[in-house]
Structure 1
């Protein structure tokens, strides 16, 4: 039992690490947009480079773990993560956007291994009935990382200097090149530190015994295509749209705040950090509420509130629009782990494969920001926020199907 408690602590640290990495993207998007002189659509490929890796690597990660176990998958994922972080240094020297995207893809490839391992691992490190609540608790530390990432990124990466058409016209080519090189170089030290920390964690986990969990012992081996598991497929679709919505809401927040309320980038990063603090608090509150409310009911309620809040953000102007968007973060808090846990119901020995499919759905984070960037380039970033509203409608539908599905045993704590 004590071994399991220590294993839970180690796995929770992984939730923090990948949460920190992914939530630096809202800082990197406006930063590299300026340093590499990009359009909104081009800057959205920062998210695409991160999240496409989940689609490409999730099933290989599942197969890797089937052969080498959870621990092997975790250590390999951490090594990829560290490698990608170290590559930010040469990417900044060359100021190559393609190099930056490659480094982000390698980082995210490592994260795909970590998430494919850690999400199901935490659900089976304990009693089955508390799986959803336990996963929400672990994801709360992902929320803590989400709070700290934009705060620290805003402090150490963003310069606060604007580069609009007038400022660029006033510079000579040499001055412009010096300015852009200085902007790009601010990522060097932060990502070297991240790489070193991740490498240390990899060594620590490699040297620490972790229990290899046999999922759903006593449940009979299932046969037939896993694609016939209707609730799993609905969960994959819901996760695809949810992650798309989550990335869209956060990644364009700094641009949204500047356009709608005239907030400077460093100040907007602080607002985003505060919103993601609400995201973290929402995870803890959601874990508590699941003692009394079925996860699918809470998921339906939260997704409906988010649709209303985003419609308010799109229709309002000034700080009320910003506040409406900030509120969305709180109500997104339980969505990923709850969709994941509900999708895993009744999979038995095929949980690793099912987990791979749900993690593949994270590719929604690669697709919807590009769509949103295209809408923004054609209209404005204010109007483009209708994209995540549509995504939350799909999550709402998934929650409703779980309310009606009699064969789904919802995880509620006693």
Structure 2
């Protein structure tokens, strides 16, 4: 999941040599990959924990509620922490907290669902701090003229992480066939306990390995020679730039669009394994379905390159409107069709998602001037949609069924369609809404 920071400036004195910057860029790129992988692994763990603890869909979506809720609770404290200790130490702190969250999965496997939820929150808190701290380094690790290409590279590796995560989790965590609630209930109590212990233990090894990898990255980041990053916030406001970012209607609508986009994207990914396991859709085991979830996230990776070429000739608003219209159509096909048609329709939504986050983000910040930093913070807080929308879809799935519940993300894309059309109109008129 991308997270955009305001443009920093690097202090020229003591600038790290080019070789050191290249090494630092490699480390930062690995960070982008890691938090993409960790975020998409939730899509594998949700059906695993749902089966393990016989949860309802609403209860299972508490995973995303705790994970993305950290964005709302930790983003502002993370900014204050980084202003106090600096970007490099902030990144190290985020890595160590994320490593602690991964390590908590070991005792959680022996102590139940509540500790799993706490572990998800700790992990996401570390990722939030890490994102706030690491993004500015990308723009200063090299010449200013190539900053955009470095940002594209790191975001591509973030998308690569989200693509690899479900496939890796499917192999390491979902390798054994999960028992249904009725099958589990039919077992004697002793066998039920043994089954739960065995399935819970499948999480321990992979997340301990991830904890070790994050701790190692923290050490490497602490030892790396990085240029200093500072933000010039002391400039006097220009004429017409009084007030706050909240006065810009296109920013407020953009924050709603980010909330709904992240919510819709995460919600679809969260339910994919169970959806593909439905007998009238594909009847796949959890392990097999996890491999297809990688295609959903991989579509976003491929779509970024397509979108980059398209938006050189088509306005961002029109591109966003067409993408959201395509997402709505595909979700509706998935809701009302069956078999492979429904399966491939929902997987193809990932391709439509590809350009939405950066496009909405840039449109919402357009023309904010000195309020751009505040606007960026507002948009990043809106990522909490990843906590709320899956929870709503879980409630609909419990009440009306899994397939109809995908109308919830379809409604999210409907607002994004409105935002894209509205922005395209205003863009032609040269008016800032």
CA distance in 2, matches of 1:139, 1:165: 40
Q: Deviations over 1:323-345 (max 9, x none)?
A: 00010011111222222233333
**Alpha-carbon distance, 1:154 to partner:** 0.3
**Alpha-carbon distance, 1:211 to partner:** 2.8
Pair 1:165–1:187, CA change in 2 (3 A): closer
CA distance in 2, matches of 1:224, 1:124: 30
**Aligned partner of residue 318 in structure 2, secondary structure:** helix
Greater alpha carbon shift after TM alignment, 174-183 vs 349-358: 349-358
Aligned equivalent of 1:105, options 121, 133, 149? 121
**Alpha-carbon distance, 1:15 to partner:** 1.7
**Alpha-carbon distance, 1:199 to partner:** 1.2
- In the other structure, the counterpart of 2:69 is 52
Which ranges of structure 1 fall in alignment gaps of 5 or more residues? 409-414
**Alpha-carbon distance, 1:263 to partner:** 1.7
**Aligned partner of residue 361 in structure 2, secondary structure:** helix
Pair 1:189–1:348, CA change in 2 (3 A): farther
Pair 1:153–1:338, CA change in 2 (3 A): same
CA distance in 2, matches of 1:289, 1:216: 34
Q: What is the aligned-residue RMSD (CA, Å)? A: 2.6
Rg comparison, structure with higher value = 2
Are 1:115 and 2:122 matched, yes or no? no
- In the other structure, the counterpart of 1:210 is 226
Greater alpha carbon shift after TM alignment, 188-197 vs 333-342: 333-342
**Alpha-carbon distance, 1:169 to partner:** 3.6
- In the other structure, the counterpart of 2:91 is 74
Are 1:280 and 2:310 matched, yes or no? no
CA distance in 1, matches of 2:378, 2:296: 29
Which ranges of structure 2 fall in alignment gaps of 5 or more residues? 1-16
- In the other structure, the counterpart of 2:163 is 147
**Alpha-carbon distance, 1:359 to partner:** 1.6
How do 1:302-317 residues align onto structure 2 when only pairs under 5 Å count? Answer: 302-317=323-338
- In the other structure, the counterpart of 1:174 is 190
**Alpha-carbon distance, 1:315 to partner:** 1.1
Are 1:235 and 2:254 matched, yes or no? yes
CA distance in 1, matches of 2:94, 2:176: 34
CA distance in 1, matches of 2:133, 2:307: 23
**Alpha-carbon distance, 1:144 to partner:** 0.6
How do 1:20-59 residues align onto structure 2 when only pairs under 5 Å count? Answer: 20-59=37-76
Q: Is the 8 A contact 1:240 1:361 kept in 2?
A: yes
Q: Is the 8 A contact 2:244 2:371 kept in 1?
A: no
CA distance in 1, matches of 2:92, 2:285: 40
Are 1:193 and 2:209 matched, yes or no? yes
CA distance in 2, matches of 1:162, 1:80: 31
**Alpha-carbon distance, 1:71 to partner:** 2.4
**Alpha-carbon distance, 1:6 to partner:** 5.4
**Alpha-carbon distance, 1:107 to partner:** 0.5
Q: Deviations over 1:173-200 (max 9, x none)?
A: 0000000110011010100111111111
CA distance in 2, matches of 1:140, 1:210: 22
Greater alpha carbon shift after TM alignment, 325-334 vs 65-74: 65-74
CA distance in 2, matches of 1:197, 1:12: 14
Q: Deviations over 1:302-353 (max 9, x none)?
A: 1111111111111111110010001001111122222223333344555444
Greater alpha carbon shift after TM alignment, 390-399 vs 158-167: 158-167
Aligned length: 407
**Alpha-carbon distance, 1:258 to partner:** 1.4
- In the other structure, the counterpart of 2:244 is 225
Pair 1:58–1:134, CA change in 2 (3 A): same
- In the other structure, the counterpart of 1:411 is none
Tell me the TM-score normalized by structure 1: 0.90
CA distance in 2, matches of 1:218, 1:59: 20
Q: Deviations over 1:239-281 (max 9, x none)?
A: 1000100111111001111123212211111111123222222
- In the other structure, the counterpart of 1:90 is 107
**Alpha-carbon distance, 1:30 to partner:** 0.6
Aligned equivalent of 1:337, options 358, 365, 376? 358
Tell me the TM-score normalized by structure 2: 0.86
Q: Deviations over 1:125-168 (max 9, x none)?
A: 78999877764543221111111100010000014423224422
CA distance in 2, matches of 1:327, 1:314: 14
CA distance in 2, matches of 1:193, 1:13: 15
